[in-house]
Structure 1
């Protein structure tokens, strides 16, 4: 359990640190004001905050309201206030601001550890409940035909992956895949055979994924997306090329295709390195790359950075 101690007193920070470490918890993160506290929350996974109410500048109550407002769609962090005041109205205001408990200074070792253990149990129970709710939600986010994540599930996954990208400053890549000439395939063989083809192709896509973090979703019709957290562009290109090679090896017959006598796909690739400021922008860049791949003859991959380079070259 990673604890963040927010107090302008170096003595209090030292006392709390020694208690937490002696109890077997990791070395706490330390902050003397709201600015440093926000920095830690942004950069690290924080499981519990021990916070002085009377901080310089933005006080503990204001900071708590900011934390609750900014993290409401992310996760819950229990907050225990450290305070020298113990009148009822003051403590009631602290709880209303978003605090979960309080401890009157000077800090009592036994009481502090008891409160930390209690918050740890609550946090674990909430995590278990969140996981259960997530599993239930996933049941409504599965495409029944291909047994992959559906559009709704992908939208949620993209939001989550984007938060992790921002939080951990790790590269995030996205592949947009479209089966070439699939309308012709449906018209030639009928929708039942088309459905079988979609299932076969989606299984092939799944077999190309590298680990459980990679996510395949059916975006709609014959369009699929692959989300690649913590993945550099070159690794995303390698996976896309693997998909193209596997389809050639699989040789799913499509004699009426204008591209090849077998089922092929066009792939657009985007990465957070290309300046996307939102997950939807990242998706839009991959979609634009897909359009370029199709315009260039299909059955190939195209990266958004290649489009940007073409634009630069044309300007010069």
Structure 2
């Protein structure tokens, strides 16, 4: 089985302060899964945030940060809270298992481990996680355009705002509106309107192509592009690229008073959360600039002075 196939089957992070225990679990899983390992709680959290494993096998008793503290920290972080954790430990009392489950563990295996049991438990929890991921993706995706929905945007903008605040980085937001879209639907019909929305969403994904960028349908013919770690000048580049992408689409719009094809109006804002700014200010500024773009004739982006 190739390394790519192993990763596709699930990436497992093994956490134990004893290398011999890591080797036992690695031997049990290496034929089916990609395995990573950490020998301390602090390193486990670092790897979990960077590598995003699909499952963590965690020892309870470790010097310094023990397994319970690690599990609690993983659950407290937006980046790692959805990774299932299986405790693998010599502890076997009911209160130990209860404590692990209360810390957020999905399962509890006692040492010495049985390789067949470990493989079975791992497969079970990976299956549950994949099903959960699929359901979550469905609830976070706009069914028509395939981009994120308003719920996903609300959750992501909050977490990215806090992340940029911690890092001292700016965050930018573009609010976009398809010009004269009601007239487009009246002229060409709702089926053509749906196709137009899909084409515009695809153009947005081409314009905002970094892994951390998020394109979301804000409502109706309105979209938002979230750009973490970009200032207003960087966001302006994305906005201008988007306007160019829309022009290339050349979707006819006979009833538009702006242009013979579909166009967008954009409001572009950026703030640095670490400067004491509030998330509401980012949203209000982008919205006000979108309104300004419309009032100035549409088919343009407006930025803060």
Is this a same-fold pair by TM over 0.5? yes
Report the CA distance between 1:280 and its aligned residue: 7.1
Q: 1:28 aligns with which of 36, 45, 54?
A: 36
After superposition, the CA RMSD in angstroms is 4.6
Measure, in 2, the Cα distance between the counterparts of 1:279 and 1:44: 29
Number of the residue aligned with 1:313: none
Residues 223-234 of structure 1 aligned to structure 2 (within 5 Å): 223-226=222-225, 233=235
Number of the residue aligned with 1:153: 149
Report the CA distance between 1:101 and its aligned residue: 1.1
The SS at the match of 1:123 is: helix
Report the CA distance between 1:27 and its aligned residue: 4.8
Answer with 1 or 2: which has the greater Rg: 1
Measure, in 2, the Cα distance between the counterparts of 1:154 and 1:263: 23
Measure, in 2, the Cα distance between the counterparts of 1:130 and 1:251: 41
Number of the residue aligned with 1:15: 20
Number of the residue aligned with 2:255: 254
- Give the gaps of 5 or more residues in structure 1: 311-316
Residues 145-294 of structure 1 aligned to structure 2 (within 5 Å): 147-148=144-145, 153-156=149-152, 159=155, 175-180=174-179, 185=183, 192-193=186-187, 196=190, 198-199=193-194, 201-206=196-201, 208-209=203-204, 218-226=217-225, 233=235, 236-237=238-239, 239-246=241-248, 249-254=250-255, 257=257, 259-260=258-259, 263-269=262-268, 274-275=271-272, 283-284=283-284, 286-294=286-294
- 1:85-125, Cα deviation, whole Å (9 max, x unpaired): 43444344334433311323xx55xx2x3343123211332
Output the TM-score relative to the length of structure 1.
0.63
Measure, in 2, the Cα distance between the counterparts of 1:120 and 1:194: 52
Structure 1 contact 269–286 (Cα < 8 Å) conserved: yes
- Give the gaps of 5 or more residues in structure 2: 1-9
Residues 56-67 of structure 1 aligned to structure 2 (within 5 Å): 56-67=63-74
Measure, in 1, the Cα distance between the counterparts of 2:282 and 2:39: 34
Measure, in 1, the Cα distance between the counterparts of 2:74 and 2:300: 45
Number of the residue aligned with 1:6: 15
Distance verdict in 2 for CA 1:162–1:203, change over 3 Å: same
Report the CA distance between 1:267 and its aligned residue: 1.6
Measure, in 2, the Cα distance between the counterparts of 1:154 and 1:56: 44
Report the CA distance between 1:252 and its aligned residue: 1.4
Structure 1 contact 158–279 (Cα < 8 Å) conserved: no
Measure, in 2, the Cα distance between the counterparts of 1:283 and 1:40: 33
Structure 1 contact 175–268 (Cα < 8 Å) conserved: yes
Distance verdict in 2 for CA 1:179–1:279, change over 3 Å: same
